Structure formats: structure tokens, C-alpha cells
Structure 1
Amino acid sequence: MINEVLWIVFALVNFTMVTIIYRIFGKQGLFVWIGMSTVVANIQVAKTIEMFGLTATLGNIIYGTAFLATDILNEKYGKKDAKQAVWLGFFTLISMTIMMQIALQFTPGPDDFAHEALTTLFSFLPRVAIGSLLAYLVSQYFDVWIYAKLKAVFPADKWLWVRNNGSTMISQLLDSLVFCLIAFYGKFPPAVWFEVFMTTYFIKFIVAALDTPFLYIAKKFHR
């Protein structure tokens, strides 16, 4: 039960930090957050936890905040800025991947204590690394597109929750599908693969639902 409570607190802290950085730094703060969150999420994903009777990765929460940030940009500044933020996050993620792969090739000194830990964190299997990069790019681009479409159909503020939940929950489904297909398909029996896919999406679905109040708060900033 400790993990479940801590997970909810952790989610609230993450979403609160997004609204704070937007409140203080405006649009630029969201761009910084998206770049940072994509990197941190891919570090946290190496840690698995038991929660709600399921095994889940820890990176799902901060990864979900990137979708909240792009939704805020889409809502307040338009699709062009949201797309630019998606590419910023992708470039940040791929830059980190390349730089850390090169860093791991250096021979550690005799007194080094960090090389093994860094190897564990950043020696991604090629399928996992490619799956993560493509899932991010495809799902984030789709999130921007569908949010703009929903905003055109439901433009009033009272439908903000529809735009937010509809775009994020559908795009997170796409994210989970792309990642699990590339990273894990063929590695597990079909039934096990489907369980991994559904578990991954279930956690992301909860995260998407939790971010809605924070979008309403951010909507009031920088009018």
C-alpha cells in the first residue's frame, strides 16, 4: 500500500511542478520541462515497482507530464508551438542516447565507482531504445493533432476536460502499442505480451486522468 500512496503523491508533485514552471517562466518553461521530462522518464523507466497488484515502470508519471505540457501549449498558443515542443523533446532524447552511448565506451579509471551503474541505466537494448524514440514521436505528434481537432469540435472552456482526456488517453494508447510492438513483440508469448501492453496502458490511463485539474489551473495563467 505504501507504493500506491507514494505513487499518487509523486504524480501530484510532478503535475504541480509543471504548473509552477509554467506560472513562473511561461511558454519557455514548458519547453524546458518537455526536454527534461523525456530524459528523466527514460532513466526512471529502468526501475520497476509493484503497484495495484501489477508490475509497473516508474517513468510513466513524468512521461505523462510531457503530454500535459504539450496540451497546455496547444490550448494556449496553438498547434505550431506544441509541435515545436515535441521535436525539442525528441531531439533532447536522441541527443542523450547518443552522448551516453559514447560516454560508456570510455575505459573507467581504477577508482571509478559509477561506470557499472551508468552501464545498467544507459546500455539500452536496440529494440527498446528504438521503440522508446518512435513511440514518443508518434504519440506526441498524434496528441497535438487530435487535441487541435477536438478543440475545433469542442471549443468552449467547459469542454476542456474532453480535449485533454480524449487526446492524452488515445495518444497514450498509441504510445503503449508502438513501444510494446517494437520492444517486446516476439519476445514473449502473445498472452504475456498483451498483459504487458494492457498493464502499461492502464498506468498511463490513470496518469492522464490525474492531470486534468492541472490543465484547468494552467489555463488561468498568462492570459
Structure 2
Amino acid sequence: MTQTARSYKYYDLIMAAFVCVLLCSNLIGAAKAATLNLPLLGQVTFGADLMFFPLSYIFGDILTEVYGYGRDRRVVWAGFGALLFAAFMAYVVVNLPPAQNEFMAVYQKQVEGVFGNTWRIVAGSMIAFCCGSFVNSFVMAKMKILTQGRHLWARTIGSTVVGQFVDTSFFFVIAFWGIWPQEQLIAVTITQYLFKTCWEAAMTPITYKVVGFLKRVENEDFYDRNTNFTPFSIKL
């Protein structure tokens, strides 16, 4: 049985929230490496997008658990389309000739510094998130069948462990290899992976509440028993 075309009350809102998080994580936070001194851990370097990017995987878990792999796949492609458009507009804005005045002479360099690497960030995100998110959703869907819908915590954490490993590794190598010092790149990649996975685990109680709420109000609890898991489709 395949997913039928039907309307849902909250599906579009979750899609919009997902796209917003994806854009913010790639255009605002991804290019900045931050360092904090944390209790017990000492000095930790991480990408600033760590504050909100893991939410995209939580959205992916919720979408797969409630609506199924096919509808999560549509949301992922919607996010990629938004990223491509943002990257194109960033390229246009950076390369438009600036007005000839003292303020714009300084401001143009700042714009280039913030958005000049957008193409690499987007390329890294497109490849990494495509691989990571679909792996995450695939593992989530298959584990739901194997566990017969029980142990949601094991599915959300288990799928994230695999998906985030693929995503984080691919993204930082593609986006920042040759830009950041290699030692910093390795440190940030490891930190990002561990922190993202831990955040997913910490958010498990909230994920439970959101999933339970959506299943009740949407009257949906989809099982991907006969789903075509190819990522190269938007069909349900």
C-alpha cells in the first residue's frame, strides 16, 4: 500500500519550519566556528549552526514517524530548492557592482566575507544533507517496522547516530576543506557529530509529545511497508 493523497492540518507548517531551520543553519551559522569553555569538557570548538541545525533531524524523525518516508522526502527536496534559490541570490548580491562611496567600499567586503563561500556551504549541505537525511529517514522507517511501532526513543536516536555521521562528515569536508586549518576541521567535525547526537537524545521527551499530538490530531501513524525508498522522487 502506498501513501494516498490526503490533506493534513500541520504537515505544511512543519515543512515551513524545516525550510526555515535549514536556511538559517546554512546561511547564518555554518560558516562560523565558535569556542566556549564548558564545565568538565574544557575548551570546545563547534560550528555556530549547532544551535539549531539538529532541529532539522528532529523534524525528519517526526515526519517519518507520523506521515511516512515519502512525505519526509518531499520536505527535504523543498528545503534543497530553497537552499539553491538562496545560494543563487547570494551570488547575485555579492557580484552586483557596489555603489561608489566610502561606506559601500567597506560593506562590500563584509558581504563577500559572509556570503562569498555560500556556494561551497550549499554544495556541502546539498550532498551531506541529502545523504544524511535520507539515511536517517530510511533507518527510522525500517526500525519502526522491526519494532512494530514500539520504542520510539530507540528509533529516533538510532537513526540520528547513523544519519548525523554521514551528514556531518560530508558537510565539513566539502564546505571547509582547505579553508579551515585541518586540526580545527577535524575537531569541529567530531564535536558537531557528538553534540548533535546528544541533542537528539536530550530532545526525546519533546519528540514523544509532538509525535503523540500529531498522531492524534492527524489520525495518522504511517508504516512504510511497501514504500519505494529512492531519494530521487517526490511521489508519495
2:15 to 31, 34, 37: 31
Question: Offset at 1:176?
Answer: 1.3
Question: Of 138, 141, 148, which aligns to 1:145?
Answer: 138
Q: Cα–Cα, structure 1 residues 108 and 186, in superposed 2: closer, same or farther, change >3 Å?
A: closer
Partner of 2:29: 44
Unaligned runs of 5+ in 2: 1-8, 217-236
Question: Which residue of 161, 171, 185 corresponds with 1:179?
Answer: 171
Task: Tell me the matched-pair count.
Answer: 198
| Higher mean C-alpha deviation, range 117-126 or range 213-222 | 117-126
What amino acid does structure 1 have at the position aligned with 2:197?
Answer: F
State the percentage of identical aligned residues: 25
Instruction: Give the superposition deviation at 1:210.
Output: 2.2
- Please report the RMSD computed on the Cα atoms of aligned residues, expressed in angstroms: 2.4
Q: C-alpha displacement at 1:70, in angstroms?
A: 1.4
Structure 1 pair 95/125, CA: closer, same or farther in 2 (3 Å)?
Answer: closer
TM-score for the superposition, normalised by structure 2: 0.75
Shift of 1:97: 0.8
Q: Does 1:85 align with 2:69?
A: no
Q: Is the 8 A contact 1:100 1:122 kept in 2?
A: yes
Higher helix share: 1
In 2, the alpha carbon distance for the partners of 1:88 and 1:197 equals: 26
Cα contact 2:62–2:211 (8 A) shared by 1: yes
Partner of 2:54: 64
Worse overlay, 76-85 or 111-120: 111-120
Checking the alignment, whether the CA contact within 8 Å between 1:72 and 1:219 is kept in structure 2 is yes
How far is 1:189 from its partner?
8.2
Contact kept, 8 Å, 2:19 with 2:79, in 1: the verdict is yes
What is the distance in 1 between the residues matched to 2:173 and 2:31?
18
Determine if contact 2:139/2:159 at 8 Å carries over to the other structure.
yes
Asked which structure has the greater CA Rg, the reply is 2
Residue among 70, 88, 91 paired with 1:98: 88
Q: In the alignment, is the contact (CA less than 8 A) between 2:90 and 2:118 conserved in 1?
A: no
Residue 190 of structure 1 deviates from its aligned partner by 7.0
Distance in structure 2 (CA, Å) of the matches to 1:149 and 1:86: 18
Deviations 1:68-110 (A, max 9, x none): 1111111111111111111111111121111111111112233
> Following the alignment from structure 2 to structure 1, what is the Cα–Cα distance between the partners of residues 118 and 17?
26
Pairwise CA distance, 1:120 = 1.9
Equivalent of residue 170 in structure 1, options 162, 183, 207: 162
Q: What whole-Å deviation, never above 9, does each CA across 1:9-56 have from its counterpart, x for those lacking one?
A: xxxxxxxxxxxxxxxx61111100111111100111233322331111
Contact 1:61 1:204 (8 Å CA) reproduced: no
Matched position secondary structure for 2:45: strand
Q: Which has the higher contact order (CA 8 A, sep 6+)?
A: 2
| Distance of aligned partners of 1:192 and 1:101 in 2 relative to their CA distance in 1, 3 Å threshold | closer
